[in-house]
Amino acid sequence: MNTTTLSLNAPGYFARRTWFDWLFAALLAAGGAYAFQRYNASMDGYEKAILVGAVPTAIWLGWFWRPLRVLALVVGAASLLAISLYARVQDGFGADLSQADNVFLLKYFLSSQSAILWMSLLFFMSTVFYWIGFFARTDTATAERLGSRLAWAAIAMGLIGSMVRWFESHQIGPDIGHIPVSNLYEVFVLFCWLTALYWLYYEDQYKHREHVRSLGAFTMLIVSAAVGFLLWYTVERGAHEIQPLVPALQSWWMKVHVPANFIGYGTFAIAAMVAFAYLIKQQASETRWYKLAPLWLLGVVLCFEPLVFRQTSDGGLSSYWAVYFGVSALIVGGILALRRRIAAKLPSYEVLDDVMYKSIAVGFAFFTIATILGALWAAEAWGGYWSWDPKETWALIVWLNYAAWLHMRLMKGLRGTVSAWWALVGLAITTFAFLGVNMFLSGLHSYGEL
């Protein structure tokens, strides 16, 4: 007979903390206390409550997943260094932002735009090394580990860029400063580092299962596609310029609604790319072209952006989107031609299905919270909780789609091909809710149009 013995002498939760855990907690508590003392006169009651609640939450997150401790300390130190470099010269509103062109570290590394460009480059490099892991004949793990480390570096630069941009916005003029989640440029940065961070968490949680790290190649494809849009949006639209908030966005609700929304978007994207990997593995030996529909679908998705965002007066592709289209076609062709080798290095169906499920479950929870917060925000801004605005309607469609997916899995045991296809189609629905509504429909959320 098997018995389980519980040790009464097992160390408690706090007894298991290391010296680095306590140092991390002390630094965050000190930083929170300083921020409260320095800026409390500029904060309302809600903002003070958010700051007070953020400190223990951040400490718990660092204790829960230890890599976050190093990430938080690196981002904090680099952001404070950038702020100190800016603050050496003052103008009428505070730190002189022209120092971004005069100080070496700011110009090439630590100004918001420099850091975000580094993030973009590092995500591209991470994607390349993850995919090299599929095709390397020897030492595959080295390439994948390098892909992971580059993703960590990209996340750090994205967070540094966001934190420094937050500071920069407050130096432009009175009432300009705001958390950098207010327009498409800023939320694309948020989407990139948040999606990658969530993937690295899953990668760490499944590290003892064979070939799980190889899924990073698929996740980084969606992140790199977002980076491609971000670079175009920067160059063609000058979207990196910090702008004052429109009246509807001048609310503390934005600080909690938008990040919660994008945790949902990011984890839904991960689930879709894992579903794509599932279908690749399933159809690795298929030779009939019409049975390879998932690969053709990826081609349509990757090549969709150039057709929508072309900018030449004659309706043709700009040089930027022509290159993007060519790279996308090469990626699709390469996956199609080498699908058997790719499938051989993918994890088991059980692991793929489990990652898919957990990603959607987390995304659904946060998307539900974001939808509730959005309704409360709408009541404050427009006088009603729900107005059937196109953005609200499509948010409801996204919610219903994933609610039905989870219901079918938990109540009916949904697994396999149908589950994967549903998750993949869910990404198309989510993308339209995120971007398509802004492009093709109008309404109360038109401040986010392209």
- pLDDT tens column, 392-450: 899 999 999 999 999 999 999 889 889 999 998 899 899 888 887 777 766 666 555 55
Alpha-carbon distance of 94 to 39, in angstroms, equals: 14
* Structure-block tokens of residue 371: 């939808």
pLDDT band, very low/low/confident/very high, at 157 (cuts 50, 70, 90) = very high
* Structure-block tokens of residue 284: 């690795």
Q: What is the DSSP string of 405-441?
A: HHHHHHHH---HHHHHHHHHHHHHHHHIIIIIHHHH-
- Please write the tens of the pLDDT for every residue from 279-326: 888 887 776 766 666 666 666 665 565 556 655 555 556 777 777 777
- Please write the tens of the pLDDT for every residue from 38-81: 878 777 787 788 888 999 999 999 999 999 999 999 999 999 99
Alpha-carbon distance of 162 to 115, in angstroms, equals: 9
Phi first, then psi: what are they for 95, rounded to 5°?
A: -65, 140
Highest mean pLDDT among 95-104, 125-134, 376-385: 125-134
Residue type, 283: Q
Mean pLDDT computed over 224-240: 87
Mean pLDDT computed over 158-171: 93
Mean pLDDT computed over 113-137: 93
Q: Is the predicted pLDDT of residue 238 greater than 50, yes or no?
A: yes
pLDDT band, very low/low/confident/very high, at 339 (cuts 50, 70, 90) = confident
What DSSP designation does 111 have?
A: S
Among candidate residues 305, 192, 218, the one with its CA nearest the CA of residue 270? 218
- Please write the tens of the pLDDT for every residue from 22-39: 999 999 999 999 888 887
Highest mean pLDDT among 103-112, 176-185, 206-215, 435-444: 103-112
Spatial contact of 263 and 360, defined as CB atoms under 8 Å apart: no
Mean pLDDT computed over 107-131: 95
* Structure-block tokens of residue 147: 């892909």
The pLDDT value given to residue 287? 67
The pLDDT value given to residue 208? 87
Alpha-carbon distance of 101 to 107, in angstroms, equals: 5
- Using CA atoms, how far residue 447 sits from 231, 241, 442, in Å, is 20, 16, 9
pLDDT band, very low/low/confident/very high, at 186 (cuts 50, 70, 90) = very high
Average pLDDT, rounded, for the chain: 86
| pTM, to two decimals | 0.92
Beta bridge partners of 94: 91
* Structure-block tokens of residue 299: 């081609």
SS3 90: strand
SS3 12: coil
Among candidate residues 390, 377, 405, the one with its CA nearest the CA of residue 435? 390
Spatial contact of 182 and 245, defined as CB atoms under 8 Å apart: yes
Among candidate residues 107, 99, 245, 104, the one with its CA nearest the CA of residue 179? 245
- Of the listed ranges 109-123, 259-273, 385-399, 427-441, the least confidently predicted one is 427-441
